[in-house]
Structure 1
């Protein structure tokens, strides 16, 4: 314990037993490793001390050194081939012990050693996910702990999971991505099978009966592995929350999202599992929006139909106008034709598809139904039904819509196109701009309380001073007019010098000061402040938008995978197919410099134009150099 390595050497030379244990089953190597006695550990290892011996809590010397952060001892034990796969009574291997005790240098030693992959192949698996008696609340692995507690070391794991072969300029240059520790839902039980039996070794002098029971338990565990996998996969919420990608979001380790391995995995999962779902839903919604828009464009404003009979919307009912249209000579112009009927039934068909989709979503994944896109989509569907449905018999033959239906249609088409933006934000090309718009909007919402105060102040002042004018006669109208004035639309002369009635021309002289204050404070200062706030942070805004785009795509991928896992219950083949895809693509190879067949012609054209541009630049530079030389030579002759 005191680190007298010469005494240790002397005792060993005199025949001391390096395998002896104390009352806690700890060997001398356990104690030397725990107390950071480097030379003592070195001497004990040179004399064949048991390096993988368990103590009373099933800790090895490597566990003890990791627990107290003795990274030099850890390096020494690793160089002497200490088994990093062994776990203690809590189910943690040595790397996990170092992580949980926040010893970053020790963790760094594990990850830099050649056995780093073995150190990461461990998992704490809940025995019964829906039982409170389970030893573990949720699935956990070393990588998940690194993401939560040591993101820098997790970044190192991601980097080591990428292998680059060849020069970056070569056509044969390739990158191998290893997703074993990120996509581990079908690997964790295999890790358990491949790990050594977690029982006390023969060197601990336990009975053979205990060893036989341990072997029997191990075999029994192997037999129920597939059953456990099925049980684990059935708890889709737990899988979603414990996936490494989702944990990066949960613990706000957003810098990890920028790593090429994570970016490539997101793209791969999107292509393999989620892209098909997304485009099917996107196309269905596109058909709905196109048919809804076509229906609206084929109908005139209600006032158009009222004007045919010199009537007003406020005085004549919708039914009266409809009956008059049926009897009027202009009925042919307002009558529904084949195209109207076809568009209407196409609209109702797409609405029915979306209703079925939402019912399935409520039954299968109730939480997903309350997403913003689903709520807006549902509002658009309801308003489109109100607009297009013929509630009365006198509406069935004409295109005319009542005033209430027309207003619902106007609001519904707005909601419908806004919902399309939510779909667009998941597209790689233009989606980032939608995310940037959302970030700017969130920042603007924080400024709204201040803006409302100024609008109320100026709006009420304008209402008091210009109340004799129609525009500012009512308080609400005055506030709306003040908001519009923020865009620079003052109409100064209209309000002060062009009165319809000479008796209403009077105004207070203080109105000039109020206009001047509004122009300086609201139009110049506040509007420029908002513009500068949006434009001045474009580089960090793009970075934040990229991160947020990755977060949204991860959540969407996880939701789609949950739906996929639910469909596995109805389609058993689908589960085998998903498992085959994941097992087959644990490693992915890409060739960044490879020219695809459809890009081959464009590549040569681009290369030709690039070479021509380089040649022209070189030629221009040579001409400039020659001109400078000639000028210098002529100056020398003059001198």
Structure 2
């Protein structure tokens, strides 16, 4: 209901042309893409209405696509052309990926404007046509009745000759205009003074002095003359007359990969940093080209291979080409960008990550490609496994968390299983080894302070040997309260990303602090209320200790804590509907005076029903009054509550534990990822609140979160390398150029400073080898298919000769 009100408010704001209200509604998640009763969206209305440029900009800023196409095939540019407003069209064309010649009802935007031309809108249509031509619209596309835009203008009898002359001249000035003999005759008949260009160059030799010539070669695919112009020291950094695009951008717009490759190889080319060429190409990947020499996919490959563009370049909204490739479902673009080390964790202005919506299968294939091997045989002593982390390594010019993409994977149900991928497992372990000591130190200290807090409470109600140490335990309890307040509440609230689990832990710590202060100051053992508060404090401390065990990165321990948590949540969720039945039976027992409950309170009756639901019937003490009806109620209780309900809860618990056991390793890795994210904030963020904490930690222990290297490799067959076991993965310290590592007591290796020598457990090596074997199997199958295809082709050639 609330969403419907927002859409209604959005529509009202647009009708009243209230820009502020429109923006405020969009900020509150109003959806301009939701169709109304007539199947028309607010975004479509905005596009098709003149003088609505600000509304279009707001819609695009809050998630609408400039290359939007509805289910009927009508694109945003088609709606904008209906408005006859050049500003609406300009705002769309400033964004990448807009198909300027998209057809709707067999009319491109240019065709539609020319067909709807009349004396009232001639000036507006002229500006729209001029803008479309500037952004690459083709004047040669025919509609369903074989009419071009030029023909529509020429045959329009309602226009004044001077207005018609202006638009015809505009179309004739286009470099790629095609005029057949019939149309040429009609144009000259209408105005004999027209100077019409030939459709093809009569002389293949083109004058170098004409600035437009190079651009003509690009748009027409005349590669012979194009090569000649480049060899004659043509200015490749200029712009054609009447265009605001460079030659490189024109080659991309027409998909001329040959011209693009030659331009990028030119020694005098100066590539500006703000062209966003990859963004321009991403939206056109897999697009069917208008000309035979066009290939946008090839242009994309050429541009990436040139090394002249930043694969992580960002537009005004901080979105990268990888983000758009994933959003537009351009699988080719995603693969190519990842192949050229596009960073997976780049965050946009709206906190969107490219990895959020990526296809899990495609991402897993990419991770497989990041694992390679060197060596003729796996049995070879020098067999080497190489891991490439470039798409996960934070670029030097980006201020963010290196764990960002891994945290996103841990939160996503679709991607979480990839934490078990050997590439990600080793990445997590590489970072974990640098802060594991600090974590275990924190765990031990927290556990000790918490246990002393519990011992102090017990000592207040005990008369044995603990009573003698009550004063010392009270002093330690105050230290424990201070420690929990400082570390578990203040510091962790600054560092932790707030989730349901972290909020629950924060509440537990605050309650422990409050109840412990009460026990230390206002506790009176003679009052039973004080004993109740002390008992609840002990239970909360036990919950805290259990959570500590559950946070340990050892899934053989944390698995059972996770089971307890999930089964508890399942039981609490089921209590809402099931408790109605239990309470109803308790009230029935109260009315029937089972166990003399009528002499007690209603709460006692309900507690008795809960106890009986576990099987504690004490049937001899019930005291049935009637022969049939009260026994019938008791039998119904036994069947539905004690048997059906209890077995149902057991089945739910069994289902939960089975699922947790199946994903135990993933859950453990998720714990580590969350811990690493927290510690990375502590050691990398420049926040005044934690600067003193960081200095204090570094004063006692020089601990830093390890930066991810670009690549890591290991020799799995060299068993003798000295290592330190860390979470099923064993690593040696960082080795620089001058460090020599003993191998076979004979060979020495000089290592680059951003490489590690790693040795893995048998489980990890098995996973590596599975990936390598699978890749080898796919490659063998590909080669086999290629061989079969060649043989079939040879057979066909032989048959055709015969």
Distance 1:279 1:24 in 2: 64
Distance 1:27 1:355 in 2: 61
Equivalent of residue 107 in structure 1, options 314, 320, 334:
334
Which runs of 5 or more structure 2 residues have no equivalent in the other structure? 1-137, 141-175, 177-199, 201-216, 231-235, 288-294, 726-761, 763-802
Is contact 1:291-1:346 (8 Å) kept?
Answer: yes
Distance 1:391 1:11 in 2: 92
Is contact 1:248-1:256 (8 Å) kept?
Answer: yes
Partner of 1:202 in structure 2? Answer: none
Is contact 2:389-2:708 (8 Å) kept?
Answer: no
Equivalent runs, 1:10-49 vs 2, <5 Å: 12=224, 17=229, 21=240, 23-26=242-245, 33-35=252-254, 41-42=257-258
Partner of 2:409 in structure 1? Answer: 248
Partner of 2:297 in structure 1? Answer: 74
Is contact 1:380-1:415 (8 Å) kept?
Answer: yes
Q: Deviations over 1:538-569 (max 9, x none)?
A: 44333455545444433333223333345445
Partner of 1:325 in structure 2? Answer: none
Displacement of 1:414 in angstroms is 1.0
Which runs of 5 or more structure 1 residues have no equivalent in the other structure? 125-135, 190-228, 233-238, 302-332, 393-399, 497-504, 600-606, 608-639
Distance 2:281 2:724 in 1: 57
Secondary structure of the residue aligned to 1:469 is helix
Secondary structure of the residue aligned to 1:454 is helix
Secondary structure of the residue aligned to 1:561 is helix
Is contact 2:489-2:506 (8 Å) kept?
Answer: no
Partner of 1:479 in structure 2? Answer: 606
Displacement of 1:371 in angstroms is 3.1
Distance 2:710 2:315 in 1: 30
For the structure 1 residues 520 and 560, does the alpha-carbon distance in structure 2 shift closer, same or farther, using more than 3 Å as the test? same
TM-score by length of 1: 0.61
C-alpha RMSD over aligned residues: 4.8
Displacement of 1:355 in angstroms is 3.6
TM-score by length of 2: 0.50
Partner of 2:440 in structure 1? Answer: 279
Q: Structure 1 residues 264-273 or 453-462, which shifts more? A: 264-273
Matched, 1:534 2:659: no
Equivalent of residue 159 in structure 1, options 368, 390, 400:
368
For the structure 1 residues 448 and 562, does the alpha-carbon distance in structure 2 shift closer, same or farther, using more than 3 Å as the test? same
Distance 2:328 2:588 in 1: 64
Distance 2:226 2:531 in 1: 102
Matched, 1:408 2:570: no
Distance 1:50 1:529 in 2: 74
Distance 2:417 2:257 in 1: 39
For the structure 1 residues 386 and 168, does the alpha-carbon distance in structure 2 shift closer, same or farther, using more than 3 Å as the test? farther
Displacement of 1:527 in angstroms is 1.3
Partner of 2:677 in structure 1? Answer: 558
The structure where helix makes up a greater share of residues is 1
Distance 1:14 1:419 in 2: 74
Matched, 1:98 2:325: yes
For the structure 1 residues 550 and 277, does the alpha-carbon distance in structure 2 shift closer, same or farther, using more than 3 Å as the test? same
Partner of 2:510 in structure 1? Answer: 378
Equivalent of residue 347 in structure 1, options 477, 480, 491:
477
Distance 1:70 1:259 in 2: 30
Displacement of 1:415 in angstroms is 1.0
Equivalent runs, 1:232-631 vs 2, <5 Å: 232=399, 239=400, 243-249=404-410, 253-273=415-435, 275-298=436-459, 338-357=468-487, 360-361=490-491, 371-387=503-519, 402-427=527-552, 428=554, 429-466=556-593, 469-470=596-597, 473-496=600-623, 506=625, 509-536=628-655, 538-543=657-662, 546-564=665-683, 565=685, 566=687, 567-568=690-691, 582-583=706-707, 585-589=709-713, 594=719
The number of aligned residues is 482
Displacement of 1:250 in angstroms is 5.6
Displacement of 1:506 in angstroms is 4.2
Is contact 1:257-1:550 (8 Å) kept?
Answer: yes
Displacement of 1:469 in angstroms is 0.3
Looking at both structures, which has the greater relative contact order when contacts are Cα pairs under 8 Å and sequence separation is at least 6?
Answer: 1
For the structure 1 residues 408 and 521, does the alpha-carbon distance in structure 2 shift closer, same or farther, using more than 3 Å as the test? same
